[in-house]
Structure 1
Amino acid sequence: MLSKVAPWLASRNEAGLGVRVLGAADTLALRALANEDPVANVFILAHLDSVGTAAPTSGGAKVYGVFDDDRLIGACWAGANMVPVQLDPALVEHIAAAAHQAGRRYASIFGPAESVLALYSKFEQLGHFAHEVRERQPLLTISGAPAIPANPSLTFGTMADFDRILPACAAMFEEEVGYSPFLGGQDFYSRRVAGLIRQGHSLVHIDADGTVVFKAELGAVTRDVTQVQGVWMNPGLRGRGESAGYMAAVVNLAKTFAPVTSLYVNDFNAKARATYERVGFTQAGTFATVLF
């Protein structure tokens, strides 16, 4: 659909295009839009499954929609992060202008690379500059059985293990983005980790000494797709070739929620990409992440 939008943008009357914050009445339209690519849009689909509405959240997160008259043709989640939803690059200026006028600061933009990079280009023109831009992050999926045996030690985390899981999550976050998730306080990130554990979305191996050996989270879950995030092997136990077995176990546990397991990885992380390939993941698209 979006490939058919661009040709008329230059010639049609711009009054036919509008941007507004979505409300409850737009829920079905947003879900239909996101379902055009349920893997790439698992974040917003999981949100809709959780809250049941496209309306703004109590915390102030909202979804901007681009309309051609009354037809929703693109959207973008705007909360702590910005996440494009089937947003043709030709439409990003409308979203960028609305988000800029709202005056909110965002930690990142992530999602399909073309949309993310086009949106960031408009943000740069409006005076918002990134700390880092990761332009190519292969989006990987697996729908069959893992290609290698799974490590049976991986299991679902419990709240009894929270005090061990939280430091491991914080270490992974700092290693990945370059700063502590506890900057400005520990409460928000701690609630996020606890929420994942309570939902059964925390996967961990804690050895007999109480050390977290490996952990990952299912950051977004629908009945069709899970998206794995926060993959982390204890630094003292790396280099033994064990990550692939743990990732095979991640796939098996994720399949208790949905048939397709997905994740995205930095293109420069050759070791991780090789591990995912061993497990049986294949590329389904390309994401990008802009870190502010």
Structure 2
Amino acid sequence: MAILRILQPGDEVSLEAFLLQHTDTSMFLRSNWRTAGLLDQNARFQGTYIAAYTDETIVAVAAHFWNGMIVVQAPVYLPEVVQTVVAQSGRAISGISGPAAQVEATKSILGLSNRPTQLDESEILFSLALRDLQIPEALASAKVQCRLPHPEELELLTQWCAAYSVETLGQRDTPSLTTASRSIIEARQAMAMHWVLVAEDTPVSYSAFNASLPDIVQIGGVWTPPALRGKGYAKSVVAGSLLDARSLLVKRAILFTGDNNQAAQAVYQGIGFLPTGEKYGLVLFEETQA
């Protein structure tokens, strides 16, 4: 039988040792605890973490984060860690992410299989060793430049972030979405975790890291306004962000995208990303439910 524990400060080494066995599907868990620690005071990136131990070794983890997302990495004891983390956190559930099969099982375990979703996908996981990054000609020749956004660009990027959420994540265009998008952009700016591509000093495309570690980064939130698509801007902004990461000695990048999103897959494969063979599950529910 496994022993279940709430993780606390001091448990970081054992948690990291477990998550490193499942690197490509544990980015949110690894990045969030490194950014915000293991105490849960409801601040951004914080969450309640429940681990299952056998012989003093972690063999499964589920976390319920500040934003309502449940993130799982539980090849064993999935029902136990999921049910316990929801009971302990007391939070509403806004979504689930993790290895695709575990996400699907978690919906069933929590009785949420029939709850309406904004997004429910088993996405393709892609990986790239940054030494193999293929740099688009426009970026290499400085026809376009990739950089940290300027403060005066943040309001535009808030609008882009909201548009991305509507188009890609199925969210509704509401004042609360704009407020949430502004918070996301401000947090990324403070952490230098997003980039804008400019052509003739005009922003034309955007990319961000939604999880970042010393050795590996995870790309998310890539968006180009519809009128500017088909010009190679997305390739350049993602490649530019990865050149910055490579300069900081990051070795690898990963991302996930939908089976049906051929345009995004072409962008990523065009700069060297290859499918890993794993699937990443992402569920976003229509409305928060206690």
> TM-score, normalized by length of structure 2?
0.83
Which of 103, 127, 130 is 1:116 aligned to?
Answer: 103
> Which is worse superposed, 246-255 or 127-136?
127-136
Which of 276, 281, 292 is 2:273 aligned to?
Answer: 281
Report deviation, 1:194.
Answer: 0.8
Which of 264, 283, 287 is 1:290 aligned to?
Answer: 283
CA shift digits 1:54-97 (9 cap, x unpaired): 23244372111112253321101211211113x11x42111232
Report deviation, 1:127.
Answer: 7.3
**Relative to 1, partners in 2 of residues 1:167 and 1:118: Cα closer, same or farther, differing over 3 Å?**
same
Report deviation, 1:203.
Answer: 0.6
Which of 239, 244, 256 is 2:235 aligned to?
Answer: 244
Report deviation, 1:224.
Answer: 0.5
Provide the C-alpha distance between the structure 2 equivalents of 1:127 and 1:237, rounded to a whole number of angstroms: 38
Aligned to 2:146: 154
What is the one-letter code of the residue matched to 2:157? I
Provide the C-alpha distance between the structure 2 equivalents of 1:209 and 1:47, rounded to a whole number of angstroms: 34
CA shift digits 1:154-189 (9 cap, x unpaired): 212132321221111111111111224755475444
Structure 2 counterparts to residues 223-242 of structure 1, below 5 A = 223-242=214-233
What is the one-letter code of the residue matched to 1:234? P
SS at match of 2:106: helix
Aligned to 2:78: 92
Which of 93, 99, 117 is 1:106 aligned to?
Answer: 93
Structure 1 contact 149–248 (Cα < 8 Å) conserved: yes
Structure 2 contact 215–251 (Cα < 8 Å) conserved: yes
Which of 115, 123, 127 is 1:137 aligned to?
Answer: 123
Provide the C-alpha distance between the structure 2 equivalents of 1:189 and 1:241, rounded to a whole number of angstroms: 25
SS at match of 1:204: strand
Structure 1 contact 123–129 (Cα < 8 Å) conserved: no
SS at match of 1:192: helix
Provide the C-alpha distance between the structure 1 equivalents of 2:128 and 2:259, rounded to a whole number of angstroms: 18
Aligned to 2:288: none
**Relative to 1, partners in 2 of residues 1:129 and 1:92: Cα closer, same or farther, differing over 3 Å?**
farther
> Which is worse superposed, 71-80 or 57-66?
57-66
The percent identity for this pair of structures is 20
Provide the C-alpha distance between the structure 1 equivalents of 2:81 and 2:115, rounded to a whole number of angstroms: 17
Provide the C-alpha distance between the structure 2 equivalents of 1:132 and 1:224, rounded to a whole number of angstroms: 32
| Matching of residue 42 in structure 1 with residue 31 in structure 2 | no
**Relative to 1, partners in 2 of residues 1:238 and 1:47: Cα closer, same or farther, differing over 3 Å?**
same
> Which is worse superposed, 34-43 or 213-222?
34-43
> Which is worse superposed, 67-76 or 128-137?
128-137
What is the one-letter code of the residue matched to 2:136? P
Provide structure 2 residue ranges, at least 5 long, that are not aligned to the other structure.
286-290
Provide the C-alpha distance between the structure 2 equivalents of 1:249 and 1:127, rounded to a whole number of angstroms: 40
What is the one-letter code of the residue matched to 1:108? G
Provide the C-alpha distance between the structure 1 equivalents of 2:200 and 2:216, rounded to a whole number of angstroms: 33
Provide structure 1 residue ranges, at least 5 long, that are not aligned to the other structure.
1-15
> TM-score, normalized by length of structure 1?
0.83
| Matching of residue 259 in structure 1 with residue 259 in structure 2 | no
Aligned to 2:190: 198
Provide the C-alpha distance between the structure 2 equivalents of 1:240 and 1:280, rounded to a whole number of angstroms: 18
Structure 2 contact 158–178 (Cα < 8 Å) conserved: no
**Relative to 1, partners in 2 of residues 1:31 and 1:39: Cα closer, same or farther, differing over 3 Å?**
same
Report deviation, 1:100.
Answer: 4.2
Provide the C-alpha distance between the structure 2 equivalents of 1:21 and 1:181, rounded to a whole number of angstroms: 37
**Relative to 1, partners in 2 of residues 1:202 and 1:28: Cα closer, same or farther, differing over 3 Å?**
same
| Matching of residue 56 in structure 1 with residue 40 in structure 2 | yes
**Relative to 1, partners in 2 of residues 1:66 and 1:164: Cα closer, same or farther, differing over 3 Å?**
same
**Relative to 1, partners in 2 of residues 1:271 and 1:188: Cα closer, same or farther, differing over 3 Å?**
closer
Structure 1 contact 117–135 (Cα < 8 Å) conserved: no
**Relative to 1, partners in 2 of residues 1:235 and 1:193: Cα closer, same or farther, differing over 3 Å?**
same
